[in-house]
Structures are given as structure tokens and as C-alpha cells.
Amino acid sequence: MQDQASRLREIINQKRIFNNSIAEKSRETTPSARIICVTSGKGGVGKTNFTLNLAIALSKQNKKVVVIDADLGLANVDIVLGVLPKYTLLNVIRGDKELDEVMVTGPNGIKIISGGSGLLDLIDMSQQQITNLIDKFEAINEYADIILIDTGAGLSKSVLSFVLAAHEVIVVCTPEPTAITDAYAMIKTIGLNDKGKQLKLLVNRAESINEGKMTYEKLKNASDKFLNVKLEKLGYLMEDVHVSRSVKLQQPFVIQFPNSPVSKNIELIANKLTNDQIENDVEQTTKGFFNKVISLFR
């Protein structure tokens, strides 16, 4: 009897060790999420609304999505969503919190991490602190198949650190000449640093498909001719009153107005992005990415 009980315990123990080692392995091999930076030359062109609604559209395809609000100047993912994060990346950087403690759950299960002004603290950190921090970032892969980063606008160091570190960048632009000029400056800067990047243009606030197309072609032709940079077409979002209505309601338009033109546009773009991934699977580890962001930033 005694013998049987102790054998049972032994079996249970072995099973536990076995299960733990499986859990250990799966943690080690959690694949790195796909990282996409969303940026623009000019501010106010619709990055935040696009990023959040795209995140929700992707989550509807059963993708796990984490949005990082890295716009240091005008961080406003939380305002658009009406969710207030208690902690930001600053808490992780300072070591007060783990990554999962600063994540807020948004609509349809998307996770949001607010950058706060945390990045500025990186400048004073030792190499050991940086290494520890980057190890912590690795945990993000448990929550994300896709990480969307709202980087903010313009050619500042913080924006460029993210943009130059990522393999995939979406530049948001509107048909206004000022937005086009500023988008061109962004594309030029990216091209001077990295010709091989997957660079995609999203034209927002187009009054017609034709206007969207013209805007894309202007930038594509100039990028081809003067920069030798390949600019892919991601798609167009129509000028649509449902965007500002949803901002006022602090509800994403893909949830509040799923049948609006702009929601249909977002759906198409989400499909395109997931299909693109099947075509050219880019390998970028989250560790490699965050390492690069931090070294560019410092």
C-alpha cells in the first residue's frame, strides 16, 4: 500500500517535471510577434485612429494584437479609446512594474501599452539595466502575434528610433500637399538609412478612390525616381464623418460604426496585411527590434 502510494507520488512528480519542462520550452520558443510601426511626416493625419481600428480589425481575425503608444508628444491612444492606463512603459523602465502590469485591455481584447515619457529615461541607463529591460520586453510575445506601434509624426529622434528599427513601416498621409511633402521627407530619411525596408503608404481622408490613388502615385513616383525606394500601396481610408463621431464617443469606429465606409476600408487593409505576411515572412525578433530602438535612441 505504502509502496503504491510512493510510486504514485513519484509518477506525479515526474509528470510535473515533464510538464514544467514543456512549459519552459514553449516559453522559450514563443515566436516573435510581427512588428509594424505606424508613422507620418505631418501630425494629425489620422495615425492613432488608424492604428487602433486596425488593431481591432486584426483581432477580429483572431490575431493577438498589442498597440504601443509611443507618440511622446501627443500620446492619445487612451483618449481615443476612453481607457486610462494607470502605468506606462516608464514604470517598466524604472523597474517598478512588469510588462503585463502596464498593459490595458481594450475593445475586442486588444492590449494597449502607453509609452508615456518613459523613453527619455533610457538615456541615463547602464548597459546592464538596458539588457534587463529588453529581457522584460520579450514577454510581449505571449500577448502578441502583431505589435502595432503608433510612433508619432516627424523626423524627431524618438520617432526615427522606432521607424528605423522596424522592418515594416506604414506611413500615413492625407491628400493635402503639406502632408505629401512631409511624408516624402519621412520616406527620404528612411530610404537614406535602409533601402530594404518594407515601406507601405496608407492614404487617409481621401475624398474619392481616385484621390487616394493620385496621392499614392505622386509619392510612389517620387520615391522611385529620386530615392530609389520602393513604396508599396497599403490602401485608402475615405474621408468619413464617422471618424470624428467615434472620437467624440471615445469608441473605435470599427465597433461603433462597423458598416461605415471607413470601417470597410480598415477591414480590407487588415486582410491585405495578413496576406502580405504569408507572402513574405520577415524574421525580426522583438528582442532585436527593441535593442535597435534603444541603441538608436541613446
Ligand X SMILES: Nc1ncnc2c1ncn2[C@@H]1O[C@H](COP(=O)(O)OP(=O)(O)O)[C@@H](O)[C@H]1O
User: Which residues are 148's β-sheet partners?
Assistant: 36, 67
Q: Does the protein bind ligand X through residue 183 (CB under 6 A)?
A: no
Q: Does the protein bind ligand X through residue 240 (CB under 6 A)?
A: yes
Q: Which amino acid is at 143?
A: Y
Residue 170: exposure state from Cβ atoms within 10 A (0-12, 13-18, ≥19): buried
Q: Does the protein bind ligand X through residue 73 (CB under 6 A)?
A: no
Q: Can you tell me which residue has the cell 505589435?
A: 147
Question: Taking the complex as a whole, how short is the minimal distance between the CB of residue 74 and ligand X, in angstroms?
Answer: 6
Q: How many residues bind Mg ion (CB under 5 A)?
A: 2
Q: Does the protein bind ligand X through residue 171 (CB under 6 A)?
A: no
Q: Does the protein bind ligand X through residue 263 (CB under 6 A)?
A: no
Q: Does the protein bind ligand X through residue 72 (CB under 6 A)?
A: no
- Pair 168, 200: CB distance under 8 Å: yes
**Residue 93 vs 159, nearer CB to ligand X:** 159
Which position among 19, 25, 44, 109 is part of the footprint of ligand X (CB under 6 A)?
A: 44
| 44 interface partner picked from Mg ion, ligand X, none, CB below 5 to 8 A per type | ligand X
**Residue 202 vs 229, nearer CB to ligand X:** 202
**Residue 40 vs 286, nearer CB to ligand X:** 40
Q: Does the protein bind ligand X through residue 243 (CB under 6 A)?
A: yes
**Residue 69 vs 168, nearer CB to ligand X:** 69
- 247 CB-side CA count, 13 A: 11
Residues 183, 186, 191, 196: is their CA dihedral positive or negative?
negative
Measure the CA angle with vertex 125, ends 156 and 87; round to 5°.
75
Q: Which of 39, 56, 48 is nearest to 267 (CA)?
A: 56
- Distance, CA of 150 to CA of 75 (rounded, Å): 9
Which position among 39, 40, 114, 158 is part of the footprint of ligand X (CB under 6 A)?
A: 40
- Distance, CA of 65 to CA of 56 (rounded, Å): 8
Residues 173, 177, 181, 184: is their CA dihedral positive or negative?
positive
Which position among 47, 63, 167, 200 is part of the footprint of ligand X (CB under 6 A)?
A: 47
Q: Measure Cα distances from 160 to 40, 143, 200, 216, 296 in Å.
A: 11, 25, 16, 22, 8
**Residue 50 vs 290, nearer CB to Mg ion:** 50
H or E stretch at 169: strand 168-173
Question: Taking the complex as a whole, how short is the minimal distance between the CB of residue 226 and ligand X, in angstroms?
Answer: 25
**Residue 261 vs 288, nearer CB to ligand X:** 261
Q: How many residues bind ligand X (CB under 6 A)?
A: 18
Report the greatest alpha carbon distance in the chain: 85
**Residue 47 vs 197, nearer CB to Mg ion:** 47
- Distance, CA of 90 to CA of 164 (rounded, Å): 22
Choices 47-55, 56-64, 101-109, 181-189 (CB under 6 A): range interacting with ligand X: 47-55
Which position among 122, 163, 237, 266 is part of the footprint of ligand X (CB under 6 A)?
A: 237
Q: Can you give the binding site for Mg ion, defined by CB under 5 A?
A: 47-48
List residues near ligand X by CB under 6 A.
40, 43-49, 74, 204-205, 237, 239-240, 243-244, 247, 262
